[in-house]
Amino acid sequence: MSALSDHAGACTLSFDALASLLEQIFLRHGTSSEVARTLAENCAAAERDGAHSHGVFRIPGYVSTLKSGWVDGQAVPVVEDVASGFLRVDACNGFAQPALAAARPLLIEKARSAGIAVLAIRNSHHFAALWPDVEPFAYEGLVALSVVNSMTCVVPHGADRPLFGTNPIAFAAPRADGEPIVFDLATSAIAHGDVQIAAGKGELLPPGMGVDSLGQPTRDPKAILEGGALLPFGGHKGSALSMMVELLAAALTGGNFSFEFDWSNHPGAKTPWTGQLLIVIDPSKAAGQSFAERSQELVRQMHGVGLRRLPGDRRHRERSKSNERGITLDEQTIAQLRALAGQ
C-alpha cells in the first residue's frame, strides 16, 4: 500500500490503495474474498466521493458486527428467478451488496427484455450508502430506483415512539452530455451516520431533526443517539414515503421490517438485518426522443432557472479531485485502519 504523507497529520492514498487496505480488514475479520472485495470497493468509493458518513467511518461498525457473529461474512447469496420481470435473492444473512452483485447480470438482462424488472433482496444487511447500488445502472443506460429499510429510529409523523428506519430512497438516470443524475436521500430528517458524526464532534444539529428519550425536540445528537429518535423529513409526506420503504423493502422481499430483528444477543452488532428492493427500467422502450437527451434537457432547464448544483454534483467533483490527487485521510484514521488490517 502506498500512502504519501502530504502534510502534518494527513495522508493521501490512491483509490486502489484504500480499497486494498479495507479488503485486508474485511478478510482479517472473516469474510470471503468476494465479500471483502465488494464491501471494500463500496466503502472506498463513498470515501473517494466525499460521502464521509458512509466511508471509512463505517469500518469499525463493520468490524464489530463481524466479530459479534451477527452477520455471515461468508454467505453465498442464492438468486431465485421467479418471473420474466421478478428476481429474488436470499442473501442468507450476509451483506446486501454481494447479493446485488450476484443478481445484477440477470437483472439487467430482464430489464432490457421485459422493459422493467424488480430485484427483491431479503435476509440481508445494508450498512452502506445506497447510491452506489443504483449509479452503475445509469452508466448502462438504465433508470434505477432502490429502497432499503434499516432499524427502528424514526418516529412516524403523528406517532409517539420510533418505528421506521432511516429508510433511504436512491434514484439514478442516464443523461446525454454528463454524469448520470443520481440522488440518495434518507426519509429521516437527517442520516443516522451524520448524527453520529455530529455527536463525535460535539456539534448541535439544526432544529427539527430529532427528539430525546422523552419524545421532546432536541438539537443534541447525543440525546438522539441515547434513547431518543429521529423525525421523518417533510412531516407527514416524508413519513408516508418511509412507510412505503418498509412495505417495498421488507413486505415485498420477505425481509424483516426495521423493528423486527433482535440483536441483543450480539453485542457490537450494527448492521440492520432487513431487505432491499431495486426497480430497473429500460428507457429505450419509451416513446419519443432518447431518454438521455430528454434528461439532459431537464438539466439544462434546471441550470436555466438558477440551479447551480444538481443532486450528485458534489459527489462527482469530489470524485474527480480524489482521482487526481488521491483520497486524504488523517494519520490517526490511517493508523487505526492499518491496525485493523493487522499491518
Min dist. Cβ of residue 282 to its own copies (A):
8
Distance separating alpha carbons of residues 48 and 40, to the nearest angstrom: 12
Q: Is 99 in the site for its own copies (CB under 8 A)?
A: no
CB closer to its own copies, 28 vs 294: 294
Residues in the chain: 343
Q: Is 173 in the site for its own copies (CB under 8 A)?
A: yes
302, 316, 321, 333: residue in contact with its own copies (rule CB under 8 A): 302
Is there a catalytic annotation at residue 29?
Answer: no
Distance separating alpha carbons of residues 273 and 121, to the nearest angstrom: 11
Please, which of residues 122-161 interact with its own copies by CB under 8 A?
122, 143, 155-156, 158-161
Please, which of residues 189-228 interact with its own copies by CB under 8 A?
none
Is there a catalytic annotation at residue 68?
Answer: no
Q: Which stretch binds its own copies (CB under 8 A): 12-20, 34-42, 67-75, 292-300?
A: 292-300
Min dist. Cβ of residue 132 to its own copies (A):
17
CB atoms within 10 A of CB 142: 25
Is there a catalytic annotation at residue 266?
Answer: no
Q: Is 106 in the site for its own copies (CB under 8 A)?
A: no
Q: What angle do CA 55, 61, 65 make, to 5 degrees?
A: 135
Min dist. Cβ of residue 305 to its own copies (A):
4
61, 259, 316, 321: residue in contact with its own copies (rule CB under 8 A): 259
Distance separating alpha carbons of residues 55 and 51, to the nearest angstrom: 6
Q: Is 176 in the site for its own copies (CB under 8 A)?
A: no
Min dist. Cβ of residue 78 to its own copies (A):
11
Q: How would you classify the pairing of strands 327-330 and 10-13?
A: antiparallel
1, 163, 199, 225: residue in contact with its own copies (rule CB under 8 A): 163
Q: Which stretch binds its own copies (CB under 8 A): 14-22, 60-68, 220-228, 297-305?
A: 297-305
What is the grid cell recorded at 297? 434537457
Min dist. Cβ of residue 116 to its own copies (A):
4
Q: How would you classify the pairing of strands 116-125 and 273-281?
A: antiparallel
Query: Which one is catalytic: 194, 242, 282, 322?
Result: 194
- The DSSP bridge partners found for residue 156 are none
What are the start-end ranges of the E strands in the chain?
3-7, 10-13, 78-83, 86-95, 116-125, 143-148, 169-173, 181-185, 210-211, 217-218, 229-230, 273-281, 327-330
Q: Check if the beta carbon of residue 224 is closer than 8 Å to that of residue 209.
A: yes
Query: Which one is catalytic: 20, 29, 49, 54?
Result: 54
Catalytic residue set: 53-54, 194
